[in-house]
Each structure stands twice: as C-alpha cells, then as structure tokens.
Amino acid sequence: MRALEARRLLADSEVIHDAAVVTAAVERLAGEIAARLGDSYPLVLCVMNGGLVFCGQLLTRLLFPLDLDYLHATRYGDATQGGEIRWRVAPDKSVAGRSVLVVDDILDEGVTLAAIKASLLALGATEVLTVVFADKLNGKQKPLAADFVGLTVPDRFVFGFGMDAGGCWRNLPAIYAKREDA
C-alpha cells in the first residue's frame, strides 16, 4: 500500500476504540496478568508483527520478573484474508517446564493462536496462557478463547495498535475500521 492509499483508507475509517480506551485496556490487562503470573517467572512471547505494539506497552506495566522472546507465525502476511499458517521464527528460549504467556494483537478466527499454543505445549511448556488485545466478534466457533482479552471489536476489518491495513497503520494509538458506507 502506498502512502496516498493509506491516508485515504484512514480518512474513510472511523475510530472503534480511541487511544484513552486502548490505554485503559492495557492497564487493566496488566493487572489481570500480574494477579495470575506475578508470583511465577514466566516466558513472555510476542507474536510478530501484530503483537509488537501491544506487547511493548504491556511489558512496561508488568512489574515482576519475566523472560521475553518472540515468535513469528502468520496466516495473513500483507493480505486481509487468512491463508495457511507460515512459521517464520520459533522462540529462541526454551519453553520446557515454563509458564508461557503468548501476546498477540487480535483473536480473529483463532487458528494461528491455537496452533501456536499447541506447538508450545508439545515443546514442553507447563502452561500456555494467551493474551490478545482485541477479540473479533465474528460469530464463528474459535478453536480457543484467549485467557486475557483487552477489547472486543466488531466483525469488520480493523487496524491500528499493532493491527495493520495492507502493511500500514500498526503505529496508530487507537483502533479503526473502514466506514461501512465508504
């Protein structure tokens, strides 16, 4: 997507959750996660690229010892429709015998996150908890429910706060969706 197209998309979109709501959700999630994992020494795994913005902001609020690593598995790439899962990078740190917290941007159909969780358990993680910033209310049966959810979003193409639109707009501090009449 070129800059002009990206600006046009943003102009034809509406705010679903503003920056203040996003920040409050991150704060709330940090408290919930600390209550569950604060006495352990978990491994936090950021799902790239979508989870990066959320994970970065969440980490500064998790005031307990943890290890950090990342993984990269995708069904989307730069597309807007999910395809087959592609594993780009596995975690470098061992998950064996660890409590693992997987941080991702959105739970859409749940196929990618379910595959990540199953893989980490097969590698010997003691438990795998998932936190997503957004859970899409798409009415579909998902193979898993996230353990921690920031906000829900409608069954529309959303972007911002880590979620992209054609590779752009992950950097927005709020969540947007294209206007249905646009």
Respond yes or no: is residue 108 known to be catalytic.
yes
With both helix axes pointing from N to C terminus, report the angle between 19-37 and 51-59 in degrees, rounded to the nearest 10: 60
Q: How far is CA 173 from CA 18, 47, 94, in A?
A: 8, 19, 33
Amino acid at 109: E
Q: Given 39, 78, 105, 108, which residue is catalytic? A: 108
Q: How far is CA 121 from CA 41, 54, 85, 95, 175, in A?
A: 17, 23, 18, 8, 32
Structural contact between residues 124 and 154, judged by C-beta atoms closer than 8 angstroms: no
* Spatial CB neighbours of 79, under 8 Å, sequence gap ≥ 6: none
Q: d(Cα 56, Cα 53) in Å, to the nearest integer?
A: 5
Show which residues are catalytic: 108
